Structure 1
Amino acid sequence: MLRRKLLRLIGSLTAVAALTATMVSPAYADDSSVSNVERVAAAIEAATPATDLSSPGEISAGQLVTSVGDIESAVPLSSDSAIVVTRPTAEGEQAARIELPDEVSVGDGVVANDGTVVYAANDDSGDAVAVQTLADGSTRIQTVIGTADSAHEFGYQMDGYHPYQSDTGEVVFVDDSGNVVPVGAPWARDVSGQPVQTGYEIRGDELFQVVTPDASTVYPVVADPTWMWAGPAWGMKLTRAETSRVRDYAAALGMCATFTNKLPKVAIACAVFGSYIVAQANIAQGDSPKTCLFFTAAPIPGVIWRLPC
């Protein structure tokens, strides 16, 4: 079954590559590029967990445009351009931009029949970047690490957003208006399907996924962050005064009760969560400048971020 799926995906990518060779387009116009696409397809199929993709979009003005409900994703065929996702927010419709990682030198993209946009490396390394729109509107950006000598960390930026990481490892991007975009937990797998150690690091305004192979890792390796537009982190943000007040355990218990009453589907043990609130509030007061607490109910209930007030 897996082999049949792989052959279909390789066939679709190869067919698209052959078609683009007859058009006025820089993407995949020679046999070496087609070979690169086949290797990328094989690596992705072997490593990627089963996930429903959206229905394939349409190519318009040099980008693949895909709509899922109120979310529209425009994935450029030019590797120099950014992915643009338009989604509804509390302030109205908003366009968010994600830059492709520049640690991989890739050519322009080819669109497979399933809607995956593949940017293969400009050399024979087997490195690549592949972008998919999932059935819930999420954007998945996969990096294919072709060899042990390839880059093993990849930086992602969103114009106007800053990444934040909770003390338990979850990551969100937040803009100046307080719009929050969660990023799914990182994963990486080698071509044999074995997990490879990976994690996130925040460096300034950039989120890095760092992949750490070991002696048993079989290349290529596929690594993935996913931006979850349809399921934003939601919860309750405290003011600076509230953040200061919940350094007291009794006040923290009261705030936990308020949180769970507003979000009845979230089950939190306030005796434990109250201590967590106190600890994070004290850290927030020591931050320079001081930060405010944000409790989330999704993607993981009860996670606390320290965000700008």
Structure 2
Amino acid sequence: MKIKNSVRAALLTTALIAGTAVPAFAAGGPAVSSAAQAVAAVQKATGTADVAGDSTQGTVMATDRGSVTVTTPASAEGRISVAAADDSAVTMGLPAAVDAAGTTSAAGTTVYPDAAAHTDLATQATTVGGGRALVTLKDAAAPTTQRFDLGLPEGASLVADGNGGYDIVTSAGGAGLVARGHIDAPWAKDANGKSVPTRYSLEGNTLIQTIETGPDTAFPVVADPHYTWGIISGTVYFNKSETKVIALGGTVVSWLPHPAAEVGGRSLAGIAGYAVATDQCIKFKVNPGLVPLSPALAVGGSGVYGGSAGDGYCR
């Protein structure tokens, strides 16, 4: 991937971490000290190797699949925006209670100290085309449930990826849904680097992250929601009626390989038949570099989704 200007990204993280050296800031004073401590906590958890720098003014990432413009907020009540070349964008709000002003470190971490009770917030742009919004829960009194409001383009929705994260999907052109963005599975670790259980849930378009701290948790802890938009990830999802058509050897879209074609030693029809029998739906991987989808799609693997996961499209 080529980077135009600086690569920026929007990313969301919930963090609890301690014991990091405080980075140098240009000015002194209590506010700067608070910001420096917030930066130190975040950068101990994430490192700085993949941090691209400040993106509060919006920067363009150029890839072989189009450009993505990422903007992180100048204050805590703003929204992270990741916009594709067609001007569609996915935005995310931070879980702020106070509109704290952002301060950016030399490495590119922007922090919003005391933006919520016992909580600092932060954002980072990353060199891989993503971004982090970190929530530093400073002690055991900080809330362990964090809510991130998502703004989705018209026609976009979320589908659980089966690994704890979500694909952000739109119409694949006639049938099915194609992933144009992704929310990675969450992670969390305490001040000693020990993993802390964490998970996502959804309420409408609100992403909720829960961190399961306990008596043995060393505060602070870091937990991480991360999303991208505008780069085709290559996963295509079909619903139950479309899956049944494929299982019977039919075609739902012109670019879909023939149902008798084998994928990983199995035919699409056979995989779809298993999905129908188990009350699930079919999904498969395509060449992420081909946009728009075409009959020349390279199928890279397929499987099923839905069932007990309760995916909204598998119905």
Q: TM-score, normalised by structure 1?
A: 0.69
> What secondary structure sits across from 1:129 in the alignment?
strand
**C-alpha RMSD over aligned residues:** 3.9
1:100 has 2:94 as partner: yes
In 2, are the aligned partners of 1:294 and 1:307 still within 8 Å (CA)? no
Answer yes or no: is 1:147 the counterpart of 2:155.
no
**For structure 1, which runs of at least 5 residues remain unmatched after alignment?**
1-5, 20-29, 285-291
Which structure shows the higher helix fraction? 1
**Aligned counterpart, 1:25:** none
Change (3 A) 1:51 1:162: farther
Q: Is it true that 1:279 corresponds to 2:275 in the alignment?
A: yes
Change (3 A) 1:212 1:279: same
CA-CA distance at 1:152 after TM superposition: 0.8
Q: What is the rounded CA distance, in whole Å, between the counterparts of 2:170 and 2:218 in structure 1?
A: 39
Are the aligned partners of 2:197 and 2:213 in contact in 1 as well (CA < 8 Å)? yes
Residue pairs, 1:45-56, within 5 angstroms: 45-48=43-46, 51-54=49-52, 56=53
Amino acid at match of 1:156: F
Deviations 1:61-99 (A, max 9, x none): xx33233222221112122221122223xxx33232211
Q: Is 1:159 aligned with 2:151?
A: yes
> Could you tell me how far 1:237 is from its partner in structure 2?
3.9
Distance 1:232 1:131, change over 3 A: farther
Secondary structure at the residue paired with 1:43? helix
CA 1:176 to 1:99, structure 2 compared with 1: closer, same or farther past 3 Å?
farther
More moved, 273-282 vs 116-125: 273-282
How far apart in 2 are the matches of 1:79 and 1:308? 33
Cα pair distance change 1:151/1:273, threshold 3 Å:
farther
1:163·1:207 contact (CA, 8 Å) conserved in 2? no
CA distance in 2, matches of 1:269, 1:101: 46
**1:224 is matched with which residue?**
224
Query: 5 Å matches for 1:216-295?
Result: 216-229=216-229, 231-238=231-238, 241-246=241-246, 268=264, 270=266, 274=270, 278-279=274-275, 283=279, 293-295=282-284
Residues 114-129 of structure 1: matches in 2 within 5 Å?
Answer: 114-122=107-115, 125=118, 127-129=119-121
CA distance in structure 2 between the aligned counterparts of 1:274 and 1:230, rounded to whole angstroms = 32
Matched letter for residue 283 of structure 1: D
Alignment match of 2:41 (pick from 43, 51, 55): 43
One-letter amino acid of the counterpart of residue 100, structure 2: G
Q: State the structure with bigger RCO (CA 8 A, min sep 6), 1 or 2.
A: 2
CA change 1:188–1:239 in 2 (3 A) is: closer
| CA contact 1:297–1:303 (8 Å) conserved in 2 | no
Task: Decide whether the 8 Å contact of 1:75 with 1:131 is kept in 2.
Answer: yes
Determine the structure 1 residue equivalent to 2:70: 73
Q: Which amino acid aligns with 1:278?
A: Y
Residue 187 of structure 2 is matched in structure 1 by 187
CA contact (8 A) 2:61 2:68 kept: yes
Shift of 1:301: 5.6
Query: What's 1:26 paired with?
Result: none
Aligned equivalents of 1:293, 1:98: Cα separation in 2:
29
**How far is 1:214 from its partner?**
2.7
- SS of residue paired to 1:68: strand
Count of matched residue pairs: 264
2:169 match? 174
Greater mean deviation of Cα atoms: 166-175 or 186-195: 166-175
Query: Which residue of structure 1 lines up, in the alignment, with residue 82 of structure 2?
Result: 85
Whole-Å separation in 1 of the counterparts to 2:140 and 2:225: 21
Match in the other structure for 2:296 = none
CA contact (8 A) 2:200 2:208 kept: yes
